[in-house]
Amino acid sequence: MAADRTSPGRVAGRVGTIHGAIRSAAMIPAADPCGHRPNRTCYVRIINYRRRMAQSDSVALLCSLLQPSNDARPTLLLGAGASFSSGVPLAAESVKRLAKTAYADRVLGGKTLPEQIKVSEWLTWLQEQPWFMRGDDRLAENFPLVVEHLLRPAAYRRRVLLELVSPSQKIGDGYRALAEMTLRGLTGIVLTTNFDICLPKALNDKKPHIKHVAEVNRAPNDLAEFSLYARALIVWLHGKAEQYSDRNLVSETQTLDPKLVQTLVPLLDSTPLIVAGYRGAEPSIMTSLLGPSADIAFRHGVYWSLRKGETPHANVEALRTRLGPNFQYLEIDSFDALFSELNRELAGVQRFAPADVAAPKQFDDQIVAGATWADVDADLALKTLRVYCGTLGRGVIDAKDLKPLMRELGLLATDGASERPSVGCILLFGRDTGRFFPHAVISATIDGKKRRVFGGNLVSQHASVLEWFEQEKVNPSLKVKGRRRHQQRNAFPERALVELLVNMIVHRDYEIEKISTIDATPSDAVRFANPGAALPDATRRLALDQDGAFEPVAQFSDLRNRSLCDIFFGMNAMERAGTGLTDAVELAVEQGGSAAFAYPPGQDSFVARLFQPGSSAGSATVARDTRPVGSYVINLLPFASTPRSLTHVLLTVQNWSQFALAVDLDNVGTFVFEARSGDLWTFASTEEADQMFGRVAAAPARAIALADVEADRVLQSKFSWLIRRHFERYLQVFEGKGLVIEKDKRGRPARRAYFTALRGDNRTLIYDTPNRRNVRRDVVKRRGDGQATHFECEGFGYEVVRQANVWGVRIKPFYMFAKRDGASPLPGYLRTRKSVRRIKFDRNANVESDLTFWARFLSDGRETINIGQTHVDDLLLEGGFVTEDVQEEGLLNGFAAQDKRSA
């Protein structure tokens, strides 16, 4: 033994393995330093050495295979081990359960439950069968024999097998992680020897974000949905028990359908194959599919997972020997542990793919004739899809990722040689949605009057109607009697209104040229009416009475517009499929009200009514218990999108004149140049920066990741400075409306902007608030007479801050007092005196009105504010200030002074 530990072969094996791992991860080592080739015994030792590597090493290798930079997306092959943690038994345990069930049914006539039968009874009977292979180590090999001899006829076989593979607990973490990776495009095609529902259940839980899960080989010749580019595809190698197509008999486990093998060969020949949870015992897989008969070289490699201490099956060792350097063992702790760790390591990494051609096409997936990319509000799309990706854990996207992601989601599609937006894209993000869908509007009234029509794209409609709901006449405040005191609360639960609004937006039938309506009736109800008859699944699942009324069914939703639902789920406007209507009912009932839903016969529409709490003693303003929430506006315009990195260029020049002579200032966009140090900062890419500033650069431009910026106070100041420059250049577009940036004594921006007089007189602007349209606001007012004439000008101070882990522009409204010309500021001491007198008249309502005005003015009424300018497409501010909802429920009964939480 001592000689073996120090033999040349042992040393050569270790050296060869290490060099092989560094060289190409090949399984056959090179010669040792003395020139000896390892013999076969040494080769086995190398494999064993490799097998002892930690799971973290296996994860690192697989992470490299799953990176989007690799052209070939790996294919997965899963076996029974993948489903074990979900309560689905492995082969040996399955033999025991099937034998026990067959004994209870066939021998005892079903009079005794299988779990009551003793081991000595069923095992003795099983061992007496002439076909049974004895030995605990061979128990798993009896699985096809048990199926063939004990599970007859076909209907009995189907029932027993489905009971066997039904998960006895929640789906395992590995399948959940695999579904999340599939959503991000890192995995997609899974070959499985199983016929349990764990994998389809995990993938279906990701709908509508994964619109369609394609399946192959559910029945003979079921190959129609196979595609090398499928977003999510399950290949049932052994069929499905539901369709009586499972291949578990002895004869069926010897070979696979030649047509199926022929279909899979191009896939296996062009992608890496990762195997997990599979022993490799069936000849149908190891010979027909992976063996010499399929003639697959596996140029991209086979990566076979083994649990720690597990001995590979002889079939697997034969495959390793045949493939040589194209085969590699990976040690793992378990299927769940492997894929959970992979998902964590690859968090935020995503691969964009074309839309799934196999997914069934709905109206919102169709191309809009005559529409082009110019008809899409790209800023709004980027803002919304960044939220979408964040919600789904897909990672951060920037402007260059926008079109690839929209292609994947089916929002952009190819029409011949052109790429055009889909119906869903125009409805969600159209610049002028009414041009293509004039009927896609919501008409709202209060007691049949004060009609407002909400047009534009669906994202803006959603925001506008939510603001309309906040009116006292739509959702009045009621005096609600509690147990010991009364409270002022809204008539309708705000969340219930939101749920019914979103239901209206995403589930209406946009092919019907009718508008949606919302009618608020004071002291009674809010009625939502939407074009769209009940879909077939809804008709089957919902118990419609003669008037079309029904009670909502939890966890059921028939998605008419999957693209719209996908985005609204992702932007946090919806909770999950099937809970909206049930939530509305529960919220209304909790508050003492109710809700009713119907598909009125012959009207091709859906109607929902939300009723306020019942009155107390006939009063229209007193009702029963509910829970209040206060909304607080913070004077911060947060960023909807920021570039992923800050670009730094070190220049050879250290004064502005030299720099200006060497650089084309008209085409470099916004930047910060520190003349003393020669540092230049920009959001342009490193390639663009090298091209623009290369003539005076001391070294190539370098990108600094945003995470590194946020960890360094000096870099944060550069980042803030550059953003402020962008914001100030954006403010220049309002000079035509009289807004100017105040300058300090050196002529530099003083971080304040204010309005100037209009030709020596007042300046009036017209804008819309959430509750009123065409509001007139005097932003500059003439004050005093004669020599005392001056102007009171509205303005705001601004600074770029990072607040609560969010970057944004903080706005502080103020009054600038200007001279008789309406532009030049008064001396400082006079401005201070007049400001003190003026501000004493401001109250909370004035401050809220000021913030509303500035948000509407700076955003020009849009959802986003693009301050990116040249070379920067993803520097977007939200079009409104941060709003926080704070529960204001009493903490102590009977003490009004202590009856609110601090906000």
Distance CA 200, CA 724 (A): 49
CB 567 within 8 A of CB 590: no
Sign of the C-alpha dihedral computed for residues 445, 446, 449 and 452 taken in this order: negative
Beta carbons within 8 Å of 667's beta carbon, 6+ residues apart: 692, 870
Please list, in sequence order, all residues whose beta carbon lies within 8 angstroms of the beta carbon of residue 87, skipping any fewer than 6 positions away: 167, 168, 169
The pair of three-digit structure tokens given for residue 704, joined into one six-digit string: 């600094």
DSSP 454-499: E-S-HHHHHHHHHHHHTSTTTS-EEEEE-SSSEEEEESS-HHHHHH
Start-to-end C-alpha separation, the chain: 74
* pLDDT at residue 571, as a whole number: 84
pLDDT band at 901 (very low <50, low <70, confident <90, very high): very low
- pLDDT digits 0-9 by tens, 256-275: 888 999 999 999 999 999 99
From CA 474, how far away is CA 826, in angstroms rounded? Answer: 45
Higher local confidence (pLDDT), 412 or 45: 412
* pLDDT over 90 (residue 720): yes
- Convert 425-441 to b/e letters by CB count within 10 Å (16 or more is b): bbbbbbeebeebbeebb
101 three-class SS: helix
Higher pLDDT, 508 or 54: 508
pLDDT of amino acid 221: 87
Which pLDDT score is estimated for 60?
A: 94
Max mean pLDDT among 131-145, 304-318, 816-830 falls in 304-318
Give ∠ CA 413-419-421 in degrees, rounded to 5.
Answer: 60
564 and 424 in contact (C-beta within 8 Å)? yes
Task: With CA atoms as reference, report the closest residue to 722 among 711, 709, 734, 732.
Answer: 709
Compute CA 438 distance to the chain's CA centroid, rounded to the nearest angstrom: 30
Q: How far apart are CA 219 and CA 239, in angstroms?
A: 6
| pLDDT for the residue numbered 459 | 94
Query: For residues 274 and 169, is the Cβ–Cβ distance under 8 A?
Result: no
Supply 730's token pair: 């954006």
Q: What is residue 300's three-state secondary structure?
A: coil
Give the pair of three-digit tokens for residue 138: 């061979």
Kindly report the backbone phi and psi dihedral angles of residue 564, in degrees, each rounded to the nearest multiple of 5, phi listed first. Answer: -65, -45
The DSSP code for 107 is I
Closest CA to 261 of 282, 283, 285: 285
77 φ, ψ (degrees, to nearest 5) = -120, 115
253-257: long-range contacts, CB 8 A cutoff, minimum separation 24: 253/144, 253/282, 253/283, 253/284, 254/283, 254/284, 254/287, 254/288, 255/283, 255/284, 255/287, 255/288, 256/284, 256/285, 256/288, 256/289, 257/217, 257/220
Q: Give the alpha-carbon dihedral of 154, 160, 161, 164, to 10 degrees.
A: 180
**To the nearest whole number, what is the mean pLDDT of the chain?**
82
Mean pLDDT of 322-345: 94
Q: Residue 771 contacts by C-beta under 8 Å, 6 or more apart in sequence?
A: 467, 468, 470, 471
Q: Which of 145, 107, 152 is nearest to 254 (CA)?
A: 145
Tokens of 882: 């941060």
Adjacent-strand bridge partners of 489: 478
Q: What is the C-alpha to C-alpha distance for residues 146 and 613, in angstroms, rounded to an integer?
A: 63
Instruction: Report the percent of the chain where pLDDT is more than 90.
Output: 48
Is the pLDDT at 654 greater than 60, yes or no? yes
How far is Cα of residue 897 from the mean position of the Cα atoms in its chain?
Answer: 44
Mean pLDDT confidence for 826-846: 62
Q: Specify the pLDDT at position 484.
A: 54
Kindly indicate the confidence band of residue 19, based on its pLDDT and cuts at 50, 70 and 90: very low
Scan for tokens 């409609």, then name that residue: 461
- For residue 598, the number of C-alpha atoms closer than 13 Å in the C-beta half-sphere is 13
Please give the DSSP secondary-structure letter assigned to residue 33: T
Among 25-39, 62-76, 112-126, 616-630, name the one with the lowest average pLDDT: 25-39
pLDDT at 769 over 60: yes
CB 192 within 8 A of CB 232: no
Among the listed residues 89, 626, 559, the one whose alpha carbon sits nearest the alpha carbon of residue 360 = 559
Residue 787: predicted pLDDT: 82
How far is CA 843 from its chain centroid? Answer: 41
**420-459, pLDDT tens digit by residue?**
999 999 999 999 999 999 999 999 999 998 899 999 999 9
B/e letters for 548-585, b = 16+ CB within 10 Å, e = fewer, are bebebeeeebbbbbbbbbbbbbbbebbeebbbbbbbbb
Per-residue pLDDT for 140 more than 80? no
Give mean pLDDT, residues 114-125: 79
Per-residue pLDDT, 829: 67
Q: What is the pLDDT, as a whole number, of residue 555?
A: 63
How far, in Å, CA of 885 to CA of 903, rounded? Answer: 9
User: What torsion do the CA atoms of 135, 137, 140, 145 make, to the nearest 10 degrees?
Assistant: -30
Average of per-residue pLDDT across 207-225: 88
Tens of pLDDT, residues 586-607 = 888 888 889 999 999 988 899 9
Residue 335 reports pLDDT greater than 70:
yes
pLDDT at position 168, please?
61
Q: How many residues does the chain have?
A: 903
Looking only at the bridges linking them, the beta strands covering 775-783 and 412-415 are: unpaired
Q: CA-CA distance, 413 to 211, in Å (whole number)?
A: 15
Q: What angle do CA 574, 581, 472 make, to 5 degrees?
A: 80
Cα(91)–Cα(248) distance, integer angstroms: 11
Q: Exposure of 651 by Cβ count < 10 A (0-12 exposed, 13-18 middle, 19+ buried)? A: buried
What is the pLDDT at residue 572?
Answer: 78
Across 496-503, average pLDDT: 92
Q: Which of 102, 109, 246 lies closest to 165 in space, CA to CA?
A: 246
Q: Average the pLDDT over each of 46-50, 396-400, 703-707 and give the range with the smallest value.
A: 46-50
DSSP one-letter code for 520: E
**Residue 670 pLDDT more than 90?**
yes
pTM: 0.76
Structural element, H or E, at residue 303: strand 302-307
Tell me, what's the pLDDT at 147?
77
Helix axes 378-391, 458-469, angle to 10 degrees: 80
- Examine the pLDDT at 486 and tell me if it is beyond 70: no
Average pLDDT over residues 1-30: 32
Which run of H or of E encompasses 680? strand 679-682
Crossing angle of helices 91-102/143-150, nearest 10°?
20
SS3 442: strand
C-alpha distances (whole Å) from 442 to each of 348, 439, 608, 651, 720 are: 37, 9, 15, 56, 41
Q: What distance in Å separates the CA atoms of residue 473 and residue 468, rounded to the nearest whole number?
A: 10
Tell me the C-alpha distance between 279 and 199, whole Å: 18
Q: How far apart are CA 711 and CA 226, in angstroms?
A: 47
Scanning 576-642, the segments in alpha helix (DSSP H) are 580-590
What is the rounded average pLDDT of the residues 651-675?
91
Q: Strand 516-521 vs strand 442-446: parallel, antiparallel, or unpaired? A: parallel
Q: How far apart are CA 768 and CA 774, in angstroms?
A: 5
pLDDT band at 45 (very low <50, low <70, confident <90, very high): very low
Calpha distance 51→332 (Å, rounded): 9
**If DSSP codes are grouped into helix, strand and coil, which group holds residue 853?**
helix
The stretch 573-584 carries a mean pLDDT of 70
pLDDT at 558 over 70: yes
Confidence at residue 798, expressed as pLDDT on a 0 to 100 scale: 96
Rg (CA), the chain: 34
pLDDT at position 15: 30
The per-residue b/e assignment along 662-700, b for 16 or more CB within 10 angstroms, e otherwise, is: ebeeeebbbbebeeeebebbbbbbbebbbebbeebbeee
Question: Is the model's pLDDT at 46 over the cut of 50?
Answer: no
Contact between residue 757 and residue 763 where contact means Cβ atoms under 8 Å apart: yes
Residue 5 binned pLDDT confidence (cut-offs 50, 70, 90): very low
Q: Give the residue, 394 or 630, on which the prediction is more confident.
A: 394
pLDDT tier, 122 (very low <50, low <70, confident <90, very high otherwise): confident
**Does residue 731 or residue 146 have the better pLDDT?**
731
Vertex 819 angle, CA 818 and 824, to 5°: 65
Give me 776's structure tokens.
Answer: 């007139």
Q: Nearest CA to 289 among 253, 312, 255? A: 255
**Could you identify the residue written with the tokens 């003083």?**
750
Percent of the chain with pLDDT over 70: 83
Residue 140 has a CB neighbour count (10 Å cut-off) of 17
Structure tokens at 134: 């004895």
pLDDT single digits (tens) 774-823: 889 999 999 988 888 999 999 999 999 998 788 999 999 999 999 999 99
Q: What is the pLDDT of residue 25?
A: 35
